[in-house]
Every structure is written in C-alpha cells, then in structure tokens.
Chain A
Amino acid sequence: MRYIDYMQLNPFQKIGYNLSNFFKKLPSNIARFFKALGKLIVGFFVGIGKGFANYGKRFVKGDVFVKLSYLIFGVSNMVRGQIIKGLLFLVTEAAYICFMLFFGINYISKFPTLGTVETTEKLSADGFTYETVYGDNSMLILLYGVLVIVVTILVFAIYLANTKSAFKVYEDKRDGKKILSFREEIKQFFDERFHITLMSVPCTLIGCFTILPLIFMILIAFTNYDNAHQPPGNLFTWVGLKNFADLVSVTNGATKAKTFVNLAEWTVVWAIFATFSNYIAGMIVALMINKKGIKLKALWRTLFVVVIAVPQFVSLLLMSQMLQENGAVNQFLSVITGQNVAIKFLNSSALVARVTVIVVNIWIGIPYTILITSGILMNIPADLYESATIDGAGPVKSFMKITLPYMLFVTTPYLITSFIGNINNFNVIYLLTNGGPSTEEYYNAGHTDILVTWLFKLTMGQTHDYNLAAAIGILVFIVCATLSLITFNLTKSAKDEEAFS
C-alpha cells in the first residue's frame, strides 16, 4: 500500500492495517529478533575475547610492576606516584579476600545443593530437654550466594579497571606524559566522568534493593521453597521447572493448576473490563465537561479529580465498608425504596462481587481518564464535528465515527499501559474484597483474586509457597513485557509515520 492510500483510510482501518501488518511481519520480526539476539551473544563473546586478548596483551607488554599489579592490585599505580589510587585498589583486594574467606566461601560452596545438613533435635547434656541443632539454612545460602556472586562480578570489574590503569600509568610514564594526581582525577569525576558520579549511588541502591532481590526471587521459582520446606527447620533444593509444570498441568484434583487457570481467566476479563469501561466512560464525561457552552468547567473537573487525590487506600477501604450488609449503600437503597435492603455486594456470589469490583473501579478510574484525555480531546479539530453536524450526524454518531477512532489512534500506548496496570492492580482487589468471596475449590484464593493478589496471599498469607509465587511473578512479567514490547513497536511505527510526512 502506498502512503497516499494509507492516509485516506479512516483511523479504524489504519489501526486494522497496522495490526495486520504487525502480525504479518511478526514471523520475520521474530526471526530478526533471534538473529539480533544471536549477534548480541556473538558480540558479547567476541567482546569478552577481545577483553581477554587486551588483558593478555597488557600483561605481556607491561613491565614488572604492571605484571605484579595482576596479582596485587594497584602496585603499578603506587610505584608511579598515584599513591592514593593504588592504595584504594589494594584495599579493595584485601577487603574482597577477607569477605570471601570469612563469609563467601562457606555460602558459595553450598550454593549448588542449597545445604545438606538437616536441622535436628538433640538430647541436651542434662538428659531431659531437647535442644535444636541448626543445620544449613537454604534461604540464607541462596540469598548470600547471590550476594557473593554479585560482589565477585563487581570486584572482577574493579580488577580489570586496575590492570587497565596499571598499564596506562606505565605507558604515560614511558612516553613522558603527565601523570594525573589524585586531586585531578577526582576533578574529572565532576566533568568528563560526571556520569559515574551521578549514576553510582542510584545504581548501588537499585542493585541492592531491586536487582539482587529480583535475581533471588527468580531463582526461588526453580526451587521447592514451599510450605513444607521452610528454613531453618527444613532444607529446600533445586527442582527445575516443576513449579511451572504444577501451574499449567490441569489434571483431576490438581487445585493449583485449576486455581491458576481460573484466576488467569478472571485477570484477563478484569483487565479488559476495567480498562475499557474506564476509557470509554471517562472519555464521554470528559467530552461533556469540555463541550462548548458548558460553564464551570474547573468545578466539574475538580469534582471528579478529588476522588483520585484522596489516597486510594482511604477511598477503597471506605468503599469496602459502605458495601457491607449494613453499610451506607444498603442504607441509601433502603431509604429510596422504603424497604429493608441488605445486599451482600462483596461476599456472597462470585458474579455479584466481580461486577461490584468493576463498578467501583469505574468510580476510581474515570477521573484518571478525564485528566489524561481532556487535553487530547481539545485537539480534535472542531470543524470535523461541525461538518458532521451539518451532514446530520447526532452526538452518538459523531462520537463513534470521529472521537473514538481519533482517540484510539492517539492513545493506544496509554491503553496498553493501563491494561498492564490493571493486570497488576493490586489495591482495588485487595482492599475492596481481599479476594473474597472465598472458596474451597481454589488453592488459597477467592473468586475475585487476580494473579498478583494471589501471589501476595501465597507469600504473606497462611501458607508460604514462595516457589509458586515466584513462578507466577515470572509469568506475569512475561505477559506484561510482551505487551510493552508491542506498545513500543506501535509507537515506533507511529513515529516513523510522522517522519514520513
């Protein structure tokens, strides 16, 4: 299709065209992805090879102090006047050796088995009481094992930097170049190498409190760290892909798989309803507020926005109380109908509870849509509407034919993002129903639980099935990441289009 044909399509067709294109190109894209991945891997190894080659070259070319630096950090720097820098290298090495001797070796050696010594009860010396003799703690072995590996990688990077610096200072001295003093090097960190100064602290924090725990949890998904294997009493060990198999193998009586499949279904249904109901309803309200001739626009907008300004846990906890059998909603209905109404919104039937959750979510979510779409709605050229009115289109028709296609076209990324947000929408479900109405059919979950609230219950509830929770987390991540990739692709195509015109 030529560009001019494309421009003449209406936005729906454009989206359809883009989508079909997306799927048509998918195989070749996937192939390209794997090719790129292959290239990346090859490049990675080539890079490592080059690194080692340079590493060796530096060793061969350098003098005796450079060679010594390969064993004892910082010698070359110290000999050639960079005392403080050399000392810092040396201190790093000493600290790492101490760390490994007194801490690391112990954990890293047990890492492949996650511990073998069971905790036992032993008759104590007086012959009457039992005392516990603690064996290996699999959890700590795994956690500290990961820590040791990360630290080792970091130290290795410092080691490489050390050899580089050792060789450079040797070359500079040989060529009669000026050797930078410590003060001058520090100065560099505020100018040419300012990025290192800026990034180091946030990266360390993220490394400690995001990446390290993440690696830990991903590894947990491949162990049997469940209710029956709780350290320090019991050991747990590697089980490979068993947890994932448990989640998907639907055989009779397998409650875990049944729960997973049902909850996954409900999660998708919930995400679709929550996203689109908010999107369309919010847009209609935004259109009404922004309509020409409507006064007090700021007031109307504020009325809605106040709802999101109030912390979600306050409004949701309040709602959960108001929807109880003797809560405000039932009182209100009683006053209106004159009869005694006592509907159990949240804890009788699954269907009622699910519908209630979606409706309450509309209450919470519409204001967000109003905030975000208002600006874009104003950008739709007014003459489009005028000509539509002249041609005899009513408000419904012009909404369906003009507003919706335009908005869909512009806000697809936002829609997908909010879809992902709803898959992970912990607050609404947890605070409103806590997953209820509860059921015996599911493994530790209720009828309105979505996957992430189930994950939370599995880790923080009565049972501690960390392995299952981690596996669910990984699956949710894969879904969300795929969706994000698609979004990214779509926006990229939109950008290319702009470049074209």
Chain B
Amino acid sequence: MIKSYKLRRSLANAVIYIILAVLGIIWVAPLAYLVMQSFSADPGAVPQTLIPETFGFNNYVRLFTETESLNFPRWYINTFVVACFSCVISTISVLMVAYAFSRLRFKSRKKFINIGMILGMFPGFMTMIAIYYLLKAMGLTQTLVALVICYSAGAGLGFQISKGFFDTIPRALDEAATIDGATKNQVFWKIILPMSKPIVVYTVLTAFIGPWTDFILAKIIMGDKVDNYTVAIGLQKMLDNDHLDKWFKRFLSGSVLVAVPVTLLFLKMQNYYVEGVTAGGVKG
C-alpha cells in the first residue's frame, strides 16, 4: 500500500516535471530566439532559420557604428539620462506624499487620498493631448526635459504602496522622538526613512525602469524628432515599413541591450513587487 502510494506520488511528480519543462521551454523560447538571432552572423537581415547557422557580434557592432539614419547609442544615453532624473524626482515626491498621508494628520487628508484614487482611474493617455499642448506652450515639446516632467509629474499619485509600508512602522517610535523634541521633518529623515529601505529601493527601481519601457508618452512628445527618441520608440521605429527589411536583426540586438539591464533590475525588485501588490489589495 505504502509502496504504491509512493509510486503514485513520484509518477505524479514526473508528469508535473514534464509539464513544467514543456511550459518552461514554451515560455523561454521566444526570448531564447531573441538572444540567439541577435548574435546571428548569417547573411540577410531577416532570419531564415530558427537557429542561426553562424554566430558573431556583427549586429551589435553595426548597431553602434552605423548611426546615420537611426542612432541607437544616442537613444540609449537619452533614456538613461531621462530615467535618472525622473527617478530622483519621482522617488522624492512619492515618499513625501506617502509620509504626509501616513504620518501627518491634517484637515481634508481623507479627501486628498480619495481624489488621488479617482484620478488614477482615468485612462492615462486621455490627458496626453492636453499635456502635449501645455508643453508646446512652454516651448518644451520634442525635448528630453518634457519627458522628465511627464514621467515624474504624476508620480505623487502612486503613493499607496509606500503609504502602506509606512503605516506598518510603529507610531510609538515617532511619538518617542517627538517627546525628545524632534520636529516632524527630523522624524521623517531620522526615523522613517532609515527604516524603509525596501520600499525606497522599490520606488527607485520602478521609477528608473519606467522610461525604459514606456513608449506611448515618448511617442506623442517626440513626434518625428528621431535624435531625441528613447529606446522604446527607437526600437519600434526599426520595425516600421521603411526599416524592417534591413534592421530586424539590429532590432533584436538592441532589444537584448535594453532587456538585460531592465530584467536584472526587475528580478531584484521582484520580491518588493509582490509585497507591494499583495499588501494593498489582497489582504482584504
């Protein structure tokens, strides 16, 4: 009896291993294809076989040397700069708003929180036309500054996750500090911030990854100013009808160059991500 139970269990496990392996292959195959073809040294720009016959760094080299029509290195630097600036600004404003909502008690605090939630429910790019004209009025369209503004201006609305985290820090700590004569400002810097390292890391990483992956906003703001593109719209540009035939493999290698750092950052962020998402909604 025991033996047969054991047998049945290991049989079940074997089936599960097989299913997992098959699914795993299906899930990773497109990405493997992406990486392999980006190292392909086969002639022709469009891959003819599933696995390239010869390998080399040809596509990467061309991506960085042939920059007359589409300037990938420039886009990469653009995105990096935009990501750094908007990361700093968004992190600061998210933490400020979250701290105010979590720790300070003031008139109409609840109202502000509700308004923030309602604003988050509008489809994001509904406002983009208006933003576009606002930026135009400021003479900022098609510049990187405009992108930084757009990515970080609304950041304060994403306070929920950080607020949830701050709420878990015991209030007794603040009170003790206040009794010792600390101002609210000092409480924020000396007590709350040092204790919230995970959520700060999470906020920084999300804000940093944003510009690398967003493309609707960048597309609307940059229009046809190809030099100021970010990687996302740049890579999409490589796939339009004029470029697809020649640029497909370089698109693949460009994608690898974008995906690798973002993937590493995301994997680092993963645990915080789960905590953040489940803390808000699922606890119920």
- Interface of A with B (CB < 8 Å)? 139-140, 143, 190-192, 194-195, 197-199, 201-203, 205-206, 208-214, 216-217, 220, 285, 288-289, 291, 293-294, 300, 302-315, 317-322, 326, 328, 331-332, 335, 363, 366-367, 371-372, 374-376, 395, 410-414, 417, 420, 424, 426, 431, 452, 455-456, 459-460, 466, 469-470, 473, 476-477, 480-481, 484, 491, 494-495
Contact = CB atoms under 8 A, between A and B. Distances in A.
A240 B238 CA distance: 43
Given A190-B183, A195-B104, A199-B96, A484 B121 contact: yes
Interface string B227-252: 00000100110010000000010011
Nearest to B281: A413
B61 interface: no
Contacts of A201: 93, 96
Contacts of B133: 139-140, 143
Contacts of B99: 198
Contact of B185 (A194, A293, A431): A194
B28 A318 contact: no
A217 B24 CA distance: 45
Contact of A318 (B34, B112, B134): B34
Interface of B: 9-10, 12-13, 16-17, 19-20, 23-24, 26-28, 30-31, 33-34, 46-47, 49-50, 93, 96-97, 99-100, 104, 106, 109, 112, 117-119, 121-131, 133-134, 137, 149-150, 152-157, 183-185, 188, 209, 212-213, 215-216, 219-220, 232, 235-236, 239, 248, 251-252, 255, 258-259, 262-263, 266-267, 270, 273-274, 277-278, 281-282, 284
Contact of B16 (A198, A291, A417, A477): A291
Contacts of A367: 27
21 contacts: A194-B184, A197-B185, A198-B99, A199-B97, A205-B155, A206-B157, A208-B153, A307-B27, A310-B262, A314-B34, A319-B30, A321-B239, A328-B47, A335-B50, A372-B274, A413-B282, A414-B282, A417-B281, A431-B236, A469-B126, A491-B281
B97 to A, nearest CB: 5
B127 A213 contact: yes
Given A199-B97, A214-B126, A318-B255, A313 B235 contact: yes
B49 A331 contact: yes
Contact of B31 (A202, A220, A307, A375): A307
B158 to A, nearest CB: 10
Given A288-B19, A303-B24, A328 B33 contact: yes
B23 A313 contact: no
B208 to A, nearest CB: 12
